[in-house]
Chain A
Amino acid sequence: MDKKDIISISELSSEEINEILQKAEELEALEREKQLELLKGKVIACLFYEPSTRTRDSFKTAIARMGANAIGFDSAESTSGKKGESLHDTIKMYDGYTDLIVMRHNKDGSAKLASEVAKIPVINAGDGKNQHPTQTLLDLYTIKKIHGSLFNLNVALVGDLKYGRTVHSLAQALNKFNCRIFLVSPESLKIPEHLTEELKNYSEHGQIQDVLDKADILYMTRIQRERFADENEYQKVKNVYMLDAGMLKNVRPNMKVLHPLPRVNEINKSVDDTPYAHYFEQAKNGVITRMALLGMLLGAKWQKTKD
Protein backbone atom coordinates (compact mmCIF):
# COMPACT_ATOMS: atom_id res chain seq x y z
CA MET A 1 0.00 0.00 0.00
CA ASP A 2 1.49 3.35 -0.98
CA LYS A 3 -0.92 5.55 0.98
CA LYS A 4 0.55 8.21 3.28
CA ASP A 5 -2.67 8.57 5.28
CA ILE A 6 -5.91 6.78 6.18
CA ILE A 7 -8.64 9.39 5.71
CA SER A 8 -11.65 7.83 4.04
CA ILE A 9 -12.92 4.44 2.94
CA SER A 10 -13.79 6.01 -0.40
CA GLU A 11 -10.05 6.43 -1.06
CA LEU A 12 -9.23 2.76 -0.49
CA SER A 13 -9.55 0.05 -3.17
CA SER A 14 -10.64 -3.49 -2.34
CA GLU A 15 -7.01 -4.59 -2.91
CA GLU A 16 -5.71 -2.03 -0.42
CA ILE A 17 -8.35 -3.01 2.12
CA ASN A 18 -7.40 -6.68 1.73
CA GLU A 19 -3.73 -5.82 2.16
CA ILE A 20 -4.44 -3.99 5.44
CA LEU A 21 -6.52 -6.91 6.73
CA GLN A 22 -3.82 -9.37 5.69
CA LYS A 23 -1.14 -7.41 7.56
CA ALA A 24 -3.40 -7.21 10.62
CA GLU A 25 -3.84 -10.98 10.55
CA GLU A 26 -0.07 -11.49 10.33
CA LEU A 27 0.49 -9.03 13.15
CA GLU A 28 -2.01 -10.83 15.34
CA ALA A 29 -0.05 -14.05 14.87
CA LEU A 30 3.18 -12.37 15.96
CA GLU A 31 4.47 -12.80 19.53
CA ARG A 32 3.70 -9.89 21.81
CA GLU A 33 7.41 -9.19 22.45
CA LYS A 34 8.00 -8.80 18.73
CA GLN A 35 5.01 -6.49 18.35
CA LEU A 36 6.53 -4.27 21.04
CA GLU A 37 9.67 -3.78 18.96
CA LEU A 38 7.93 -2.60 15.80
CA LEU A 39 7.42 1.09 16.63
CA LYS A 40 9.90 1.45 19.46
CA GLY A 41 10.96 5.07 19.95
CA LYS A 42 8.16 6.52 17.81
CA VAL A 43 5.98 9.32 19.17
CA ILE A 44 2.36 9.44 18.06
CA ALA A 45 0.05 12.43 18.50
CA CYS A 46 -3.52 11.61 19.53
CA LEU A 47 -5.46 14.79 18.88
CA PHE A 48 -9.01 14.28 20.14
CA TYR A 49 -10.98 17.50 19.69
CA GLU A 50 -14.10 15.53 20.56
CA PRO A 51 -14.38 13.14 23.49
CA SER A 52 -14.41 9.46 22.49
CA THR A 53 -13.34 7.04 25.18
CA ARG A 54 -13.66 3.91 23.08
CA THR A 55 -11.81 4.94 19.94
CA ARG A 56 -9.18 6.91 21.87
CA ASP A 57 -8.35 4.04 24.22
CA SER A 58 -8.31 1.56 21.35
CA PHE A 59 -5.70 3.74 19.62
CA LYS A 60 -3.72 4.31 22.82
CA THR A 61 -3.68 0.57 23.49
CA ALA A 62 -2.54 -0.07 19.91
CA ILE A 63 0.25 2.51 20.32
CA ALA A 64 1.39 0.96 23.62
CA ARG A 65 1.36 -2.57 22.16
CA MET A 66 3.60 -1.44 19.30
CA GLY A 67 6.10 0.03 21.76
CA ALA A 68 5.47 3.66 20.77
CA ASN A 69 4.56 6.64 22.95
CA ALA A 70 1.36 8.68 22.74
CA ILE A 71 1.04 12.41 23.37
CA GLY A 72 -1.85 14.79 22.67
CA PHE A 73 -5.14 15.87 24.20
CA ASP A 74 -8.56 14.39 24.97
CA SER A 75 -10.94 17.29 24.42
CA ALA A 76 -11.11 20.62 22.64
CA GLU A 77 -11.25 22.33 26.05
CA SER A 78 -7.58 21.80 26.61
CA THR A 79 -6.31 22.79 23.19
CA SER A 80 -4.91 25.87 21.59
CA GLY A 81 -7.91 25.67 19.23
CA LYS A 82 -9.86 27.05 22.15
CA LYS A 83 -7.56 30.09 22.03
CA GLY A 84 -8.43 30.56 18.38
CA GLU A 85 -5.58 28.69 16.74
CA SER A 86 -6.48 27.28 13.34
CA LEU A 87 -6.39 23.53 12.74
CA HIS A 88 -3.75 24.25 10.10
CA ASP A 89 -1.38 25.76 12.67
CA THR A 90 -1.98 23.08 15.31
CA ILE A 91 -1.21 20.37 12.77
CA LYS A 92 1.94 22.19 11.61
CA MET A 93 3.17 22.11 15.18
CA TYR A 94 2.52 18.40 15.78
CA ASP A 95 3.99 17.70 12.35
CA GLY A 96 7.26 18.94 13.76
CA TYR A 97 7.00 17.08 17.06
CA THR A 98 5.80 13.61 16.20
CA ASP A 99 5.92 10.70 13.74
CA LEU A 100 2.20 10.24 13.08
CA ILE A 101 -1.07 12.01 13.90
CA VAL A 102 -4.30 10.30 14.95
CA MET A 103 -7.11 12.84 14.95
CA ARG A 104 -10.78 13.05 15.83
CA HIS A 105 -12.46 16.38 15.09
CA ASN A 106 -16.03 17.64 15.00
CA LYS A 107 -15.78 19.17 11.50
CA ASP A 108 -16.31 17.20 8.28
CA GLY A 109 -13.17 17.05 6.16
CA SER A 110 -10.83 18.04 9.01
CA ALA A 111 -8.75 14.89 8.60
CA LYS A 112 -8.27 15.52 4.88
CA LEU A 113 -7.13 19.05 5.64
CA ALA A 114 -4.72 17.78 8.32
CA SER A 115 -3.28 15.23 5.88
CA GLU A 116 -2.58 17.97 3.36
CA VAL A 117 -0.89 20.18 5.94
CA ALA A 118 1.19 17.43 7.58
CA LYS A 119 4.18 15.74 6.00
CA ILE A 120 3.81 12.85 8.47
CA PRO A 121 0.97 10.29 8.15
CA VAL A 122 -2.49 11.15 9.45
CA ILE A 123 -5.13 8.63 10.57
CA ASN A 124 -8.73 9.82 10.69
CA ALA A 125 -10.35 8.72 13.96
CA GLY A 126 -13.65 10.34 12.97
CA ASP A 127 -14.27 13.67 11.19
CA GLY A 128 -17.67 15.14 12.10
CA LYS A 129 -20.49 13.39 10.27
CA ASN A 130 -18.23 12.27 7.45
CA GLN A 131 -15.95 9.23 7.96
CA HIS A 132 -14.58 6.86 10.57
CA PRO A 133 -12.42 4.55 8.46
CA THR A 134 -10.68 2.62 11.25
CA GLN A 135 -14.07 1.51 12.60
CA THR A 136 -14.93 0.23 9.12
CA LEU A 137 -11.61 -1.56 8.79
CA LEU A 138 -12.07 -3.32 12.12
CA ASP A 139 -15.59 -4.30 11.07
CA LEU A 140 -14.21 -5.72 7.82
CA TYR A 141 -11.42 -7.51 9.68
CA THR A 142 -14.04 -9.09 11.92
CA ILE A 143 -16.26 -10.13 9.02
CA LYS A 144 -13.33 -11.57 7.09
CA LYS A 145 -12.22 -13.61 10.10
CA ILE A 146 -15.73 -15.03 10.44
CA HIS A 147 -16.43 -15.86 6.80
CA GLY A 148 -12.92 -16.19 5.35
CA SER A 149 -13.58 -13.63 2.60
CA LEU A 150 -15.41 -10.37 2.16
CA PHE A 151 -16.74 -11.13 -1.31
CA ASN A 152 -20.41 -11.82 -2.08
CA LEU A 153 -21.72 -11.91 1.50
CA ASN A 154 -25.27 -11.04 2.56
CA VAL A 155 -25.00 -8.23 5.06
CA ALA A 156 -27.94 -6.62 6.86
CA LEU A 157 -27.42 -3.11 8.27
CA VAL A 158 -30.05 -2.35 10.91
CA GLY A 159 -31.18 0.76 12.78
CA ASP A 160 -30.12 4.35 12.24
CA LEU A 161 -28.97 4.34 8.65
CA LYS A 162 -29.47 8.08 8.22
CA TYR A 163 -27.05 9.58 10.72
CA GLY A 164 -24.80 6.59 11.38
CA ARG A 165 -21.51 7.40 9.68
CA THR A 166 -20.21 3.93 10.63
CA VAL A 167 -22.94 2.36 8.54
CA HIS A 168 -22.29 4.70 5.62
CA SER A 169 -18.59 3.80 5.39
CA LEU A 170 -19.33 0.11 5.91
CA ALA A 171 -21.92 0.09 3.10
CA GLN A 172 -19.42 1.82 0.79
CA ALA A 173 -16.76 -0.74 1.66
CA LEU A 174 -19.01 -3.82 1.31
CA ASN A 175 -20.07 -2.52 -2.07
CA LYS A 176 -16.45 -2.80 -3.24
CA PHE A 177 -16.66 -6.54 -2.45
CA ASN A 178 -19.94 -7.13 -4.30
CA CYS A 179 -21.86 -7.85 -1.12
CA ARG A 180 -25.65 -8.04 -1.10
CA ILE A 181 -26.76 -5.32 1.31
CA PHE A 182 -30.07 -5.33 3.20
CA LEU A 183 -30.89 -1.91 4.64
CA VAL A 184 -33.30 -2.16 7.57
CA SER A 185 -34.52 1.08 9.12
CA PRO A 186 -37.65 3.00 10.08
CA GLU A 187 -38.88 5.38 7.37
CA SER A 188 -37.46 8.42 9.20
CA LEU A 189 -33.96 6.93 9.44
CA LYS A 190 -33.45 5.64 5.89
CA ILE A 191 -30.00 5.79 4.32
CA PRO A 192 -29.37 9.00 2.32
CA GLU A 193 -29.96 8.78 -1.41
CA HIS A 194 -26.44 9.85 -2.38
CA LEU A 195 -25.27 6.59 -0.78
CA THR A 196 -27.79 4.24 -2.38
CA GLU A 197 -26.84 5.79 -5.72
CA GLU A 198 -23.40 4.22 -5.22
CA LEU A 199 -24.61 0.77 -4.16
CA LYS A 200 -24.76 -2.04 -6.71
CA ASN A 201 -26.86 -4.65 -4.92
CA TYR A 202 -29.18 -3.61 -2.12
CA SER A 203 -32.77 -3.59 -0.91
CA GLU A 204 -34.57 -1.55 1.76
CA HIS A 205 -36.73 -3.05 4.51
CA GLY A 206 -38.79 -1.88 7.45
CA GLN A 207 -38.81 -5.15 9.41
CA ILE A 208 -35.80 -7.00 10.75
CA GLN A 209 -37.76 -10.29 10.28
CA ASP A 210 -37.54 -9.80 6.48
CA VAL A 211 -33.82 -10.43 6.49
CA LEU A 212 -33.00 -12.62 9.50
CA ASP A 213 -32.84 -15.94 7.62
CA LYS A 214 -30.86 -14.52 4.67
CA ALA A 215 -28.06 -12.65 6.42
CA ASP A 216 -24.47 -13.79 6.89
CA ILE A 217 -23.86 -10.71 9.06
CA LEU A 218 -26.45 -8.79 11.06
CA TYR A 219 -24.95 -5.39 11.79
CA MET A 220 -27.00 -3.64 14.48
CA THR A 221 -26.66 0.06 15.36
CA ARG A 222 -27.88 2.27 18.15
CA ILE A 223 -30.53 4.85 17.42
CA GLN A 224 -28.82 7.95 18.75
CA ARG A 225 -30.93 10.24 20.89
CA GLU A 226 -28.59 13.20 20.33
CA ARG A 227 -29.36 13.18 16.59
CA PHE A 228 -33.03 14.04 17.11
CA ALA A 229 -34.13 17.66 17.41
CA ASP A 230 -37.60 16.45 18.40
CA GLU A 231 -37.82 14.15 21.45
CA ASN A 232 -41.17 12.76 20.21
CA GLU A 233 -39.57 11.57 17.00
CA TYR A 234 -36.94 9.74 19.03
CA GLN A 235 -39.54 8.13 21.29
CA LYS A 236 -41.38 6.83 18.22
CA VAL A 237 -38.40 4.91 16.81
CA LYS A 238 -36.12 4.16 19.76
CA ASN A 239 -37.48 0.66 20.35
CA VAL A 240 -38.28 -0.46 16.80
CA TYR A 241 -35.51 -3.03 16.57
CA MET A 242 -34.89 -5.12 19.64
CA LEU A 243 -33.08 -8.32 18.92
CA ASP A 244 -33.46 -11.18 21.37
CA ALA A 245 -32.28 -14.80 21.37
CA GLY A 246 -35.74 -16.11 20.43
CA MET A 247 -35.62 -14.30 17.08
CA LEU A 248 -32.47 -16.15 16.02
CA LYS A 249 -34.04 -19.61 15.53
CA ASN A 250 -33.95 -19.76 11.75
CA VAL A 251 -30.76 -17.89 10.99
CA ARG A 252 -27.89 -19.22 8.90
CA PRO A 253 -25.58 -21.38 11.05
CA ASN A 254 -22.52 -19.18 10.60
CA MET A 255 -24.43 -15.89 10.96
CA LYS A 256 -22.92 -13.39 13.41
CA VAL A 257 -24.38 -10.31 15.07
CA LEU A 258 -22.12 -7.25 15.11
CA HIS A 259 -22.55 -3.84 16.76
CA PRO A 260 -20.12 -0.89 16.94
CA LEU A 261 -21.09 -0.43 20.64
CA PRO A 262 -22.21 1.07 22.94
CA ARG A 263 -25.58 -0.71 22.72
CA VAL A 264 -28.66 0.45 24.56
CA ASN A 265 -31.56 -1.97 24.12
CA GLU A 266 -31.31 -2.98 20.45
CA ILE A 267 -29.54 -6.23 21.41
CA ASN A 268 -31.05 -8.01 24.38
CA LYS A 269 -28.58 -9.55 26.81
CA SER A 270 -30.04 -12.99 25.96
CA VAL A 271 -28.23 -12.77 22.60
CA ASP A 272 -24.85 -12.60 24.39
CA ASP A 273 -25.06 -16.31 25.26
CA THR A 274 -25.90 -17.49 21.74
CA PRO A 275 -23.19 -18.57 19.27
CA TYR A 276 -24.23 -15.62 17.08
CA ALA A 277 -23.04 -12.83 19.41
CA HIS A 278 -19.78 -11.41 18.12
CA TYR A 279 -19.75 -7.73 19.12
CA PHE A 280 -17.22 -7.97 21.94
CA GLU A 281 -14.87 -9.91 19.70
CA GLN A 282 -15.40 -7.15 17.14
CA ALA A 283 -14.40 -4.42 19.63
CA LYS A 284 -11.27 -6.39 20.51
CA ASN A 285 -10.30 -6.47 16.82
CA GLY A 286 -10.13 -2.66 16.87
CA VAL A 287 -6.78 -2.77 18.62
CA ILE A 288 -5.04 -5.15 16.21
CA THR A 289 -6.44 -3.36 13.13
CA ARG A 290 -5.18 -0.02 14.42
CA MET A 291 -1.81 -1.55 15.30
CA ALA A 292 -1.48 -2.77 11.72
CA LEU A 293 -2.37 0.66 10.31
CA LEU A 294 0.13 2.45 12.55
CA GLY A 295 2.82 -0.04 11.59
CA MET A 296 2.11 0.11 7.85
CA LEU A 297 2.03 3.92 7.69
CA LEU A 298 5.28 4.14 9.65
CA GLY A 299 7.03 1.60 7.44
CA ALA A 300 7.41 -1.18 10.04
CA LYS A 301 7.89 -4.65 8.58
CA TRP A 302 6.57 -7.95 9.90
CA GLN A 303 5.73 -11.30 8.42
CA LYS A 304 3.55 -14.21 9.21
CA THR A 305 5.19 -16.52 11.70
CA LYS A 306 4.85 -20.26 11.16
CA ASP A 307 2.00 -21.73 13.10
Chain B
Amino acid sequence: MAENKGLMVQKIENGIVIDHIPKMASSRIVRMLHLHDRFEFYNGINCRSNKLGRKDFIKIVKGDLSNEELNKIAMVAPGATVMRIKGFEIVEKIPITISDEIKNLVKCPNTGCITNQEPYKKTHFIKLSDKPLKIKCRFCERTFKEGEFEFL
Protein backbone atom coordinates (compact mmCIF):
# COMPACT_ATOMS: atom_id res chain seq x y z
CA MET B 1 0.00 0.00 0.00
CA ALA B 2 1.28 3.43 -0.88
CA GLU B 3 2.30 5.78 1.94
CA ASN B 4 -0.75 7.66 3.07
CA LYS B 5 0.24 11.05 4.37
CA GLY B 6 -3.33 12.27 4.66
CA LEU B 7 -5.59 12.12 7.63
CA MET B 8 -6.20 8.69 9.08
CA VAL B 9 -9.56 9.69 10.46
CA GLN B 10 -11.89 12.29 9.03
CA LYS B 11 -12.05 15.77 10.49
CA ILE B 12 -14.78 16.42 13.01
CA GLU B 13 -17.09 19.41 12.72
CA ASN B 14 -17.54 20.09 16.42
CA GLY B 15 -16.03 18.51 19.50
CA ILE B 16 -12.76 17.78 21.25
CA VAL B 17 -9.52 16.32 19.89
CA ILE B 18 -7.04 14.76 22.30
CA ASP B 19 -3.81 14.19 20.38
CA HIS B 20 -0.28 13.00 21.22
CA ILE B 21 -1.41 10.46 23.78
CA PRO B 22 1.40 7.97 24.52
CA LYS B 23 0.75 4.77 22.56
CA MET B 24 -1.73 2.38 24.14
CA ALA B 25 -2.68 4.90 26.84
CA SER B 26 -5.92 6.10 25.26
CA SER B 27 -8.04 3.22 26.56
CA ARG B 28 -7.27 4.45 30.07
CA ILE B 29 -8.59 7.90 29.17
CA VAL B 30 -11.72 6.34 27.63
CA ARG B 31 -12.38 4.33 30.77
CA MET B 32 -11.49 7.10 33.17
CA LEU B 33 -13.86 9.61 31.56
CA HIS B 34 -16.49 7.00 30.58
CA LEU B 35 -16.33 8.26 27.01
CA HIS B 36 -17.89 5.04 25.68
CA ASP B 37 -21.09 5.71 27.62
CA ARG B 38 -21.35 9.36 26.69
CA PHE B 39 -20.10 10.19 23.22
CA GLU B 40 -19.47 9.08 19.70
CA PHE B 41 -15.69 9.17 19.21
CA TYR B 42 -12.88 7.98 16.98
CA ASN B 43 -9.98 6.33 18.76
CA GLY B 44 -6.65 5.97 17.03
CA ILE B 45 -4.36 3.40 18.62
CA ASN B 46 -0.64 2.94 17.98
CA CYS B 47 -0.66 5.35 15.02
CA ARG B 48 2.38 6.80 13.29
CA SER B 49 3.51 10.13 14.70
CA ASN B 50 6.35 12.45 13.72
CA LYS B 51 6.60 13.72 17.27
CA LEU B 52 6.28 10.47 19.24
CA GLY B 53 6.98 7.67 16.76
CA ARG B 54 3.76 6.02 17.81
CA LYS B 55 0.77 7.65 19.46
CA ASP B 56 -2.90 7.33 20.31
CA PHE B 57 -5.56 9.96 19.71
CA ILE B 58 -9.22 10.48 20.50
CA LYS B 59 -11.69 12.63 18.53
CA ILE B 60 -14.93 13.24 20.36
CA VAL B 61 -17.82 14.10 18.04
CA LYS B 62 -20.15 16.85 19.25
CA GLY B 63 -19.14 16.51 22.85
CA ASP B 64 -17.43 18.66 25.44
CA LEU B 65 -15.45 17.91 28.57
CA SER B 66 -15.12 19.98 31.73
CA ASN B 67 -11.77 21.44 32.77
CA GLU B 68 -11.69 19.00 35.68
CA GLU B 69 -12.05 16.09 33.27
CA LEU B 70 -9.42 17.50 30.94
CA ASN B 71 -6.99 17.88 33.82
CA LYS B 72 -7.40 14.20 34.61
CA ILE B 73 -5.92 13.52 31.20
CA ALA B 74 -2.74 15.31 32.30
CA MET B 75 -2.09 12.61 34.89
CA VAL B 76 -2.28 9.79 32.30
CA ALA B 77 -0.84 11.64 29.32
CA PRO B 78 1.07 14.73 30.47
CA GLY B 79 2.21 15.65 26.93
CA ALA B 80 -1.21 15.38 25.29
CA THR B 81 -2.52 18.19 23.09
CA VAL B 82 -6.17 19.05 23.68
CA MET B 83 -8.11 21.13 21.15
CA ARG B 84 -11.68 22.34 20.95
CA ILE B 85 -13.14 22.20 17.41
CA LYS B 86 -15.96 24.32 15.98
CA GLY B 87 -16.94 24.33 12.30
CA PHE B 88 -13.97 22.06 11.40
CA GLU B 89 -11.55 24.65 12.85
CA ILE B 90 -9.45 24.61 15.99
CA VAL B 91 -10.98 27.36 18.10
CA GLU B 92 -9.02 26.69 21.28
CA LYS B 93 -5.92 24.85 22.40
CA ILE B 94 -6.60 23.88 25.98
CA PRO B 95 -3.59 23.71 28.28
CA ILE B 96 -3.94 20.82 30.69
CA THR B 97 -2.31 20.63 34.12
CA ILE B 98 -2.50 18.04 36.85
CA SER B 99 -5.10 19.13 39.42
CA ASP B 100 -4.08 19.91 43.00
CA GLU B 101 -6.23 17.01 44.18
CA ILE B 102 -6.18 13.67 42.39
CA LYS B 103 -9.18 11.52 43.24
CA ASN B 104 -9.80 7.86 42.38
CA LEU B 105 -7.21 7.82 39.64
CA VAL B 106 -4.00 6.52 41.17
CA LYS B 107 -3.42 3.40 43.24
CA CYS B 108 -1.43 4.04 46.44
CA PRO B 109 1.97 2.30 46.09
CA ASN B 110 2.13 1.77 49.88
CA THR B 111 0.93 -1.82 50.33
CA GLY B 112 0.18 -1.01 53.98
CA CYS B 113 -2.25 1.76 53.00
CA ILE B 114 -5.91 1.18 53.88
CA THR B 115 -6.98 2.17 50.35
CA ASN B 116 -5.40 -1.04 49.07
CA GLN B 117 -7.49 -3.14 51.42
CA GLU B 118 -10.91 -1.59 51.16
CA PRO B 119 -13.16 -2.95 48.41
CA TYR B 120 -14.29 0.54 47.33
CA LYS B 121 -10.92 1.56 45.82
CA LYS B 122 -11.30 5.22 46.63
CA THR B 123 -8.02 7.08 46.63
CA HIS B 124 -7.16 10.72 47.15
CA PHE B 125 -3.77 12.35 46.58
CA ILE B 126 -2.60 15.93 47.05
CA LYS B 127 -0.16 17.33 44.48
CA LEU B 128 2.95 18.71 46.20
CA SER B 129 4.87 19.75 43.08
CA ASP B 130 4.63 19.52 39.27
CA LYS B 131 8.26 19.25 38.20
CA PRO B 132 9.23 16.76 39.42
CA LEU B 133 5.74 15.45 40.02
CA LYS B 134 5.27 14.61 43.72
CA ILE B 135 1.99 13.50 45.22
CA LYS B 136 0.98 12.69 48.80
CA CYS B 137 -1.63 10.12 49.81
CA ARG B 138 -4.27 11.82 51.91
CA PHE B 139 -4.76 8.62 53.89
CA CYS B 140 -1.35 7.10 54.69
CA GLU B 141 0.47 10.48 54.30
CA ARG B 142 3.28 8.97 52.21
CA THR B 143 4.80 10.94 49.35
CA PHE B 144 5.49 9.46 45.89
CA LYS B 145 7.34 10.60 42.79
CA GLU B 146 6.48 10.13 39.14
CA GLY B 147 7.09 6.56 38.06
CA GLU B 148 6.38 5.18 41.53
CA PHE B 149 2.61 4.93 41.18
CA GLU B 150 0.19 3.04 38.98
CA PHE B 151 -3.32 3.84 37.87
CA LEU B 152 -6.39 2.22 39.35
Q: Which residues of A are in contact with B by a Cβ distance under 8 Å?
A: 8, 10, 86-88, 105-110, 112-113, 127-131, 194
Contact = CB atoms under 8 A, between A and B. Distances in A.
Contact of B120 (A86, A108, A112, A130): A86
Interface in B98-152: 108, 110, 112-115, 117-120, 137-143
B137 A109 contact: yes
A124 B117 CA distance: 18
Nearest to A84: B119
Grouping DSSP codes into helix (H, G, I), strand (E, B) and loop, the A interface class, with mixed when no group exceeds half, is: mixed
Contacts of A86: 118-120
30 contacts: A86-B119, A86-B120, A87-B117, A88-B120, A105-B114, A107-B112, A107-B113, A107-B117, A108-B113, A108-B114, A108-B139, A108-B140, A108-B141, A108-B142, A109-B113, A109-B115, A109-B139, A109-B141, A110-B114, A112-B114, A112-B138, A112-B139, A113-B114, A113-B139, A127-B114, A127-B140, A128-B114, A130-B140, A130-B141, A194-B143
Contacts of A88: 118, 120
B89 to A, nearest CB: 45
A201 B108 CA distance: 31
B3 to A, nearest CB: 52
A129 B112 contact: yes
Contacts of B114: 87, 105, 107-110, 112-113, 127-128
A129 B114 CA distance: 11
Closest 8 pairs (CB-CB, A-B): A109-B139, A108-B140, A109-B140, A107-B114, A110-B114, A109-B114, A112-B139, A108-B112
A105 to B, nearest CB: 7
Nearest to A108: B140
Given A108-B142, A109-B115, A110-B114, 4 more contacts: A108-B141, A110-B139, A128-B140, A130-B141
A8 B139 CA distance: 10
A105 B140 CA distance: 12
Contacts of B113: 107-109
Nearest to B116: A107
A282 B92 CA distance: 64
B145 to A, nearest CB: 11
A131 B142 CA distance: 11
A131 B117 contact: no
A108 B118 contact: no
A87 B141 contact: no
B67 to A, nearest CB: 25
Interface string B16-47: 00000000000000000000000000000000
Nearest to A110: B114
A113 B141 contact: no
Contacts of B141: 8, 10, 108-109, 130-131
B152 to A, nearest CB: 16
B119 to A, nearest CB: 5
A21 to B, nearest CB: 23
A124 B103 CA distance: 23
A250 B27 CA distance: 68
